[in-house]
Amino acid sequence: MNNKDKSLAFSNGEFEKIYGFIADNAVWTVVEEDTFTGKKAIIDNCEKVANYFKSVTIKFETLNVIEENKKVVINGTAEFLKDNERVSFVSASDLYEFNEEDQIQKITSYCIHQDKI
């Protein structure tokens, strides 16, 4: 799995695919929301998010993927539906930084949430 594939998996909620590619001292910052420091904290939050994902139908749309050196940037949207009704919509950008072993070292996520529309 290359760095672009790892990043796309994470951004599309396929967290389990990338657990083995997270550096032990990685940091995930969700700007203006929270910071998760260390592989365990990141995986714990991924599991929490994955449980929520199981309770809704999600439509992910990847708009752009930019890759340069050891960095990948992905932006896109996610629509969350319950009983065929929108419960939320998120526009997001994720910046992934990889170390020399091609492990995820840092994730910075920018998320703009909209309520029901």
In terms of phi and psi (left: phi > 0; alpha: psi -120 to 50; beta: otherwise), the region of 38 is left
0.85 cut: is pTM over it? Answer: yes
CATH of the domain at 33: 3.10.450.50
Q: Can you give the pLDDT at residue 58?
A: 94
Domain with 47 in it: 3-114
- Please write the tens of the pLDDT for every residue from 76-111: 999 999 998 998 999 999 999 999 999 999 999 999
Please tell me the total count of domains within the chain. Answer: 1
Q: Name residue, tokens 């998760």.
A: 36
CA distances 75 to 15, 22, 53, Å, are 17, 20, 19
Q: Name the band, by pLDDT with cuts 50, 70 and 90, for residue 117.
A: low
- Please write the tens of the pLDDT for every residue from 31-84: 999 999 999 999 999 999 999 999 999 999 999 999 999 999 999 999 999 998
